[in-house]
Amino acid sequence: MILDTLPTGPLEVNCYIIGCEATGHAAVIDPGGHVSKILQLLDKHKLKAVMIINTHGHFDHIGGNRGLQEATGAELLIHQDDRLLLAHAGEHAAAFGLRADPSPAPTRELSGGETLQLGELSLQVIHTPGHSPGGICLYVEDHLIVGDTLFAGSIGRTDLPGGDHQLLIKNIVEKLLVLPETTRVYPGHGPTTTIAQEKLYNPFLS
């Protein structure tokens, strides 16, 4: 498996590229912007993007959707409960004094519990609402991409429309902390961590 990271967009969202070495197929997760740099990273690894996956619909995570889809023809996936967030991302950005390129409509809506096949890799979709109604995490080969659900030493904010603090904590505890402690966690912003580290040191989860 190939896994690489690129900070993208005005809020430096961690865009992740997951690639199957056997087939050269890749998923681009949360392209916040800087589409040309994402394409360069795909070329570097000799990968073809066949999926663009948004962990949720907030404007900072979706700014590169349109440009990347136009450049690659990849399908666009997001959880069904964040479809409206995706459609209104521009208004959300404007509230922060920023702008976001409008995203195309998703070509596939997720409900949680699916397994996405990426060449020989299997990506498990875990629905973790709380930061947003349709927040998801992706679990593949002891790696967990969590969007804004969980951070190193923190959790996603829940004061935005559709946020729910208690629901977020419940989902983290019941769906993420039960994974093997060696699982590497890749947040939407900031450094990586592990399930073991968050169990021990995250003050929101003690």
Per domain, the residue ranges of the chain are 2-201
User: Longest Cα pair distance anywhere in the chain, in angstroms?
Assistant: 44
Contacts of 97 (CB under 8 A, 6+ apart): none
Q: How many Å apart are CA 172 and CA 5, to the nearest integer? A: 23
* Cα gap 96→204, rounded to integer Å: 26
**71-87 residues labelled b (16+ CB within 10 A) or e (exposed):** ebebebbbbebbbebbe
For residues 113-123, give the mean pLDDT. 98
pLDDT (average), residues 82-97: 87
Give me 159's structure tokens: 């004061």
Mean pLDDT of the chain, nearest integer: 96
pLDDT digits (tens, 9 = 90+) for 130-183: 999 999 999 999 999 999 999 999 999 999 889 999 999 999 999 999 999 999
Computed on alpha carbons and rounded to an integer, the radius of gyration of the chain in Å comes to 16
Mean pLDDT is lowest, of 19-23, 42-46, 98-102, 138-142, for: 98-102
Model-wide pTM > 0.85:
yes
CA 198 to chain CA centroid, nearest Å: 19
How many Cβ atoms are within 10 Å of 115's Cβ, its own excluded? 10
Q: Domain 2-201's class?
A: alpha beta
